[in-house]
Every structure is written in C-alpha cells, then in structure tokens.
Structure 1
Amino acid sequence: MLKLKYILIGSLALTSLFSSCQKQTFEQPYAYLEPEDAFLNADRIGKTAVGMYDALQNRDFLGGRAFIYADIRAIDCSAGPYFGSVPNYENLTSENLMVEASFVGGYRTVYEANFFLKNIAKYTGRAKPEDEAKYIAEAKFIRALSYFYLVNLWAQPYKFTNDGSHPGVALVLNATDPSKIFDASNQVPRNSVKEVYDQIIKDLNEALPSLPKVPAAAASRSISNVGRATQGAVNGLLARVYLYKQDYAKALEYSNKVISSNEYSLVPNIKNIFTDYTTMESMFSVAHSGGDNPNTNHSLSQHYSPNGRADIQVSSSFESLMSENDARRKDLIIEDDGLWNGKFSSIGDWVPVLRFSEILLIKAEALANLENGTNVNSEALALVNQVRHRSDPSTNVTATNKNELIAAVLKERRLELAFEGQGIYEFLRTGRNIPAHGIFNEQVWGSNKVVFPFPYSETQQNPNLVQNPGY
C-alpha cells in the first residue's frame, strides 16, 4: 500500500468550470473541504466531482509525465540529461525518484476516485439520482484510465503470457482508512495483468450507461465533451484496451460503436487539434490551464518545444518516414537548431488521451488481424488511407498481403500518434523488439528492463509487492 505521506487524506480538490469565447478550461485555484462539507449538498457534490479531474492532472502521472516516459523509452525522440536514467534500460534502478513519483502519482489519482466513490455512497441522496449516477461513472472512468497506464508502465504486456496471468499491479479499489494504512491487511500483493484488465473493463462498462453523449454539432462542443468522461470516451478506451489484449473482435466492436455514433470525425487541419481542444476529433484529454503547470519541469511543452526546456528532440529517422507534403511533418515538426515536436507549445496545453483518428486505426488493425489467410482487408486499407490522406493526400498506403497491411497500420499509428504517450507500448503490445536507437541497445521483446521497477521505498514498506525481475 502507498505510504501515508503520499496520499491526500480526507479531502478532494474543488474546481469549477468557466466558459469564454476564447477558451474553456479548468479554473484555478481550488479549495479543499472535509468530506462532510464536500458532500453537503448537490452543488458541492458536483464541484467535488469536477475535483477528481484536478487529481487526474497529477503532474508526475497523467498531467504529462506518464506520456513523456512512454515516448522517451521508445525510438522516435531523444531525451536529454534532465530525465536521467528513465529512458536508459540498462541503468534504471528501483531507487529512481522520477519513477517513484510517477508510481505514487498514479495511485494517488486512483485514491481520489476511490475516495469519491466511498463518500458519495455514504452521502447518497443529496444529489439528483441521474447526477449521482453520472459522478460515480466519472470516478470509475478515471480509475480505469489510471490503471490502464499503471499496468502498462509497470507490467509486461497482456500477451507476455497467453492468458495474462503474469504479475501486473496491485488493484486498490477502496479508500483506505488513514488510521489503518500501515496494517498488514493493506499490504496488498500484485494482481495479474488479466485481473487488472478485467477491472478496467468492468469499471468502463459500469460507467457507460450513466455518462452523456457528445453533441453531433461542432458548435455545441464544450469542455465537458472532451475534459470530462463521455460515452464516446468510454467506448474509445474500451476499443484501445481490447486492442492491447489482442482481442480483435472486441476492439472492432467498440471502435464501431464510436464510429457509428456519428459524434466524431477527422478535422481537416491536424494542427488545430492541439490548439482547439474541443474539435470534432477530440474524444478525451486531461484539461489544463496556465495555472496547472507553473513548474516548467512538468508541462509537455516545456520538454517538447524548442521554446521551453527543450529536452526532447525528434529523431531525423522519424521525420524521414513522412513525405515533405505530409502536414504531420510540415506543421507538427519544428526545425530550429534540431527537430522538435510541434504538438505542444504552451504550459496550458491539454494532454490528448483519445482522438478519433486512433479509433479509425484501431478498427483497421482489428480488421487486418481478423482477415482470413493472407488476404488484404480492403476496408482496413481504406481506413488507413483515410487517416493518411487527411495529412498527405499525395501518397497512398498500399499492401499486397495481410502482414504488409498490419505493418502499414502500425506505421500509420506511429506517424499519427507520435508523442502522445503510446511509443513504447506499440512495441510491447505487438510482440516486437525495441530497436537500438541513440546510445541505447536493442531491447528484445520480454526483456526485464522494458517495464519500470516498483519503487524501492514501496517494496520495503510492502513486502507483498514483489519487484519486477532484473531490478
């Protein structure tokens, strides 16, 4: 169990939303209230529910760092000395403080969702039934999303064993009584990867019916349709979860649910997605305002942009994968004494978790894998070209057999979702070695060091938390 000093006990962050004609975002600062005050009436419960999204902004986890770590441990960018041994497979140890902070940040976010669920059950009836159900659904979505990244950072991928029976991360589904946090009963062991995925899927399926749909008209979009959980976000995350499980039939089912809803579409100019956060393509993002990342060491832009700390450069080999006509090269890579990622330029930038283009590519990958024999699935190929032609109408993706098509889908994911926190997972979930890059040696699939170590301080505190091999 996490140590007491790392957990926010007895309070939830209260934030409010505001709208303007220029930008919609979370307002700062926020206040803290004791549970009996935070759940006093319908208005306060609503604000407390919004406060869970403030917890989701945890700067060492889904506020940005979990995304950065997944990408700097892959092959398309380099990380400067600021991140120390985090991207270095050979030298990373269980005493690394950045890894520890990210682990704690993830479980702190889970705790906030658990704390909300515990108290809304205790104070049930103070909000309208439909609102109460929605808030519970939001807590379960946040918990599921957090566990998705925890299990993929600290455990081998689902197909490391045929049935996902290998060790995952510890499932903590209750808000622990602070007075009992050091009890033996709270020294929980690791659950299997399958158990963690099952819980993610359970939370998402339970959340789905009580969440709102997204307006079909672009003019009606608001922060609540992207910065808060919706049915579209749940179905999109389920599609990704099943893809990572290699359950292609289910990945196809849930990607179809998103597509058939007609709530989302590709926007013509890909650059707009990263400045206008409520486009028809945006499905879920961790929302930020300028006040959420005052520390320049944590916002995405400070590391990726040449105007910030400029720690992370784009590799020339990645740029060369795209034609000169590709908008992802022309508009999203900046040449300024090196190559830089142009998706993030301000400390208030939102963290893009789910976009519609990914859903199209999930469907394409599912269809390609489900195709009999070595045939090329024509619908899958058309979907890949739909994504390609949005950014580069001058080139066509082609394939003469099933394996070539799958490789084409994975390449398009690499181009489309670069620097959005899926870099290393693309190799792990598909059973591929991580190629040598920069100063780092090739990592064979299944290598011990492709997953993070559990923090030494946590394994010392909890003897049931078995360390990953090799650390």
Structure 2
Amino acid sequence: MKKINYTLILMLLACLTLISCKKFLEKEPFGKTGKNTLFETVEGAKMAINGSYNSMLAYYKNEFAMYADITSDNLIKGNKASVLLPQFNFQSSSGDDALAVGDLWLHMYETLNNVNNILNAVPELKTKFPNQVKTLDSITGQALVMRAICHFDLSRVYAQPYNYTADASHLGIPLLFKTPSPGWQVARNTMKETYDQVILDLKNALPFLQQHANGTVQTSISYQAALALLSRVYLYQGNWEQCVTYADQVIANTAYLLADAANYKSTFLLKPSLTLKPEVIFQLTNTGLTNGGSSIPTVYSDSTGAQYSASAKLKSLFDPDDIRLTQMFTIPKKGENAGKYLTVKYADGTVTAINPPAIQVIRLSEVYLNRAEAKWNLQRYTEAANDIKTISQRAHPSRTIDITYSSNSDLYKQIAEERNRELCFENHRFFDIIRRKEPLQRGIDCNSSTCSLTYPNDKFVLPIPNKEVEANKAMKQNPGYN
C-alpha cells in the first residue's frame, strides 16, 4: 500500500509540474486543489522534494547535460545527429518551442515552480507539525539549493555571462519565487540580480543542510554540495577570493576524496565501489524516481547509434598514457562509428539499456580546478599549478607529473586544458569558453555549419521562446533574435 501511495503522489507531482510550467508560459492559474492536497502533510513535502529531483533530472538527462559539449569545440557530429543539432550549428530559432529552445525553458521553470511550491508550503507545515521541524528544515535546504541551480542553469543558457558588462547590468533571466498569477507580466532581472539571488539561496541553505546533514549520500543535496556549487558560481562571477574560500572548505573535508586511478572509471557508475571515499559530491540518477531513461548513452556512447564523437581537437589534449583517454573512451571497430572516439562516461559503448549510470552535477575534481583558476587570477601561480598537478597526477599513475610553465599565460592555458580533459562530456566546455571571453574555434575536422565565432556574440545564448515573449509583454528577447 505504501508503494502504491508513493507512486500516486509522484504521479500527482508530475502532473502538477507539467501544469505549472505550462500555466507559467501561458499565464494561466495553477491547479490549487492538487497542490494543496500534496502539502497537507510532511510526507507530502517529502514526496514533493523527491519529485523535484525527478524534475531536475528530466531537464538534465535529455538536453541540458549535453548542451555545453555539443555547442563547444569538443565534438563532431555523426550522420544520425539530431539531438541539439540546431545548437551544434548555432542556428537556434525563437520559434523552436518543441526543440531545445522551448524545451529547456519549459522544464527548467517546471522544476523551479516545484521547489517554490515546497518553499512556500513549509512555513504552514512547521506550524501544523512542530515536532517535524528538523525534517522540514532539511527539505528547505535542499529546495533552496535546487532553486539556485535552476536560476543558475537558466542564466547559463539564456543570458550572456556575468562579465559581459562591467557591472553585470545586462539582462539575466526572470527570478521566480512563486507561480505567476494570470496576467502577471514577468520581466527579466539583470545578471547581477540573478547571481545575487543564486548566491543568497545557496548561502541560506547552508545552516539547514549543516544541521541536518545527510552524510555522503550523493543523490541528494548535501552541505558540501552547496559549498561546492558556491565555488562554481563565484568562479563564473569572477569573485576569485570567494571561489577559493568555498573550494578550500570542500577540499579540506575528508568525507570527499579523489578516487585513485584504479577506481576512476567507477566514479561514474551509479554505485561506485571505491576503496577511497567518493569524489562525487552531487549526482542525479533514476533511483527511486519515476522518470525513465536518458538519451545521453545513445547520443554519446552507442557504437552504432551515437550522434556525436570526440573532435580531433579534444583528442589532441590527452597524452597516450592518460587514463581519461584509455579508460573513458571506446573506439568501435565496425559500423557507422568505426574508428571514432566515443565516451564511456555514461555507457560502455554497447548500449543495451537507456538508463545512464549517473549524471554528475559536481565532482571534487571540478572543485580543485575551480580553485586552480581562481588562484591563478589571484596571482598565486605556484598554488594553482599544484592544484592541476593533483588532477593530472591521478590521470598518469605510471609516472610523476611536474607542472612547468614558460609564462603565467602558459600556466593559464594548462589550467584550461586540464579542466577540459577532466570535465569533457560533463557539460562545462562551452560555458567555460564564453565566461573567459574567448572565441569558439572548432578544429580541422569541424563538420558544423559554424566552425568559429568571435566573442562577444549574440549566438552564444539561446533565444527566449517566442511563445513566452508573445504571452508576456514584459519579456525582452535576446539581441539577434526576432
């Protein structure tokens, strides 16, 4: 009976999320009866936070988690490429409501509406159930981080990077804290306001998550996950001191350690069997959730059906003995993808099931790399070199790694390349290029209709969906799109 009730509540939540986002886009009222029923009890709030993880997984697993690699210089397309193909070619249209332009907007705000409903319901639940305040505080901390992630992810896709203007006064995304009422005209906030809110939510979540720690449960948001995400957000913002401060706290906590070379590949499995404590800080999986599988293994790893493979430019970054080359790629010997480098971060190259082992939201190795780049910008060059040495040494277990550089700019180049080697296929590369104000320059094997773009560029962001702009007169379209 409990299992049936659990499933029914999750199904209800799925219906609510679908309605809530559609109503947001069309400016219609939210279905209050279902929402009120869900939040009558603390058990309902628990189901709601689980459903919100499920909703976040939905937008990561099908498009968002592939966006920053497909739009970068890391990949070339195969003959069967269709997923994010307009974005690969930088031919996005504001009318693509059924494709990534509309789909990402829809599902990101769907998740945002979910977590806002939870946060708005918690105060009344605390009054009704004073003996369960600790549980509700834990839910609050997780929901605050999820709201920060949603706003941050939306800003990465639909707005120019924080440093696009000197004071970040350019358009960010609409900051929402409740489902809009009918007729409510929702305007875009500035990028400064967007980041201020993301940081505020992450910091406000810390005391809740610290007090009600969930240990090293990687599939739910922890105190360390909030700290790690703060290091990322401050890196994107260019606040180097704060990036280092929060990265230091994560790295100093021995609850999370880098996997050794022998267990590196296991890090990407759903249940890593590591001899050391895991380096995964937060990941999304299908475990315990109703959502189905992902297209990621097929798009990246299927020996016959893969749509994208590693570019010559990406392959050239790896030494022959780098375990990230030898363990994390497969090269089919026959078929359409014969001879191509396909990643096995999500599958083994012979896809027989569509469920990915896990989608990494943030790992400890990224925190080291965040700190390395921030330290370089603080002119702490030796310390920055030591951080990338830690990551590179794990990737080269058979020899001793020494980081030497002919100039400070050479070291910066090495930091950027190490970041790409470590985090390729984990949704970072394109975001890294534009926040550094660099041009996009694809390699000699580029088979996109767009092989290079200078910075700044209107095409570095997606257009706001036409449906939203037409229904919401306060919404401003991104420059360069009709």
How does the TM-score come out when normalised to structure 1?
Answer: 0.85
Give secondary structure in 2 for the equivalent of 1:323: coil
1:422 aligns with 2:422: no
Please list every run of at least 4 consecutive aligned residues from structure 1 whose deviation after the TM superposition is greater than 6 angstroms: 5-8, 213-216
* Number of residue pairs matched by the alignment: 429
Residues 154-233 of structure 1 correspond to what in structure 2 (within 5 A)?
154-176=158-180, 180-181=181-182, 183=183, 186-212=184-210, 221=216, 225-233=217-225
> Is contact 1:64-1:351 (8 Å) kept?
no
Q: Which runs of no fewer than 5 residues in structure 2 stay unpaired?
A: 1-19, 333-337, 348-352
1:354 aligns with 2:352: no
Closer/same/farther in 2, CA of residues 293 and 335 from structure 1, 3 Å limit: farther
> Is contact 1:86-1:92 (8 Å) kept?
yes
Give secondary structure in 2 for the equivalent of 1:234: helix
Residues 273-292 of structure 1 correspond to what in structure 2 (within 5 A)?
273-277=267-271, 280-289=278-287
Give the percent of matched residue pairs that are identical in Structure 1 and Structure 2: 26
How many Å separate the matches in 2 of 1:315 and 1:293? 32
Q: How far is the alpha carbon of 1:34 from its aligned partner?
A: 2.9
How many Å separate the matches in 1 of 2:148 and 2:111? 11
Q: 1:121 — aligned with what?
A: 123
Q: 2:135 — aligned with what?
A: 131
Deviates more, 1:335-344 or 1:315-324: 315-324
> Is contact 1:285-1:352 (8 Å) kept?
yes
> Is contact 2:155-2:172 (8 Å) kept?
yes
Q: 2:257 — aligned with what?
A: 265
After superposition, the C-alpha distances for 1:360-392 in whole angstroms (9 at most, x for unaligned) are: 111111111101xxxx62221111011001111
Q: Which runs of no fewer than 5 residues in structure 1 stay unpaired?
A: 12-32
Q: Specify the code of the residue in structure 2 equivalent to 1:365.
A: E
Residues 54-453 of structure 1 correspond to what in structure 2 (within 5 A)?
54-58=54-58, 61-80=59-78, 81-83=81-83, 84-89=85-90, 91-96=91-96, 97-98=98-99, 99-125=101-127, 126=129, 128-176=132-180, 180-181=181-182, 183=183, 186-212=184-210, 221=216, 225-268=217-260, 269-277=263-271, 280-289=278-287, 294=292, 298-307=294-303, 309-336=305-332, 337=338, 338-345=340-347, 347-349=354-356, 350-371=358-379, 377-393=381-397, 394=399, 395-437=401-443, 438=446, 439=448, 440-453=450-463
How many Å separate the matches in 2 of 1:277 and 1:196? 35
Q: Specify the code of the residue in structure 1 equivalent to 2:53.
A: Y
After superposition, the C-alpha distances for 1:393-428 in whole angstroms (9 at most, x for unaligned) are: 435432133222111111110000001011211101
Give secondary structure in 1 for the equivalent of 2:72: coil
1:455 aligns with 2:451: no
More helix by share: 2
How many Å separate the matches in 2 of 1:231 and 1:195? 24
After superposition, the C-alpha distances for 1:324-347 in whole angstroms (9 at most, x for unaligned) are: 111100010111111101100153
How many Å separate the matches in 1 of 2:24 and 2:456? 34
After superposition, the C-alpha distances for 1:299-339 in whole angstroms (9 at most, x for unaligned) are: 31121112473111111321121111111000101111111
> Is contact 2:162-2:192 (8 Å) kept?
yes
Q: Specify the code of the residue in structure 2 equivalent to 1:69.
A: Y
How many Å separate the matches in 2 of 1:137 and 1:362? 24
| CA-atom RMSD in angstroms | 2.4
Q: How far is the alpha carbon of 1:163 from its aligned partner?
A: 1.4
How many Å separate the matches in 2 of 1:421 and 1:213? 31
Q: How far is the alpha carbon of 1:39 from its aligned partner?
A: 2.7
How does the TM-score come out when normalised to structure 2?
Answer: 0.83
How many Å separate the matches in 1 of 2:257 and 2:109? 34
How many Å separate the matches in 2 of 1:141 and 1:260? 21
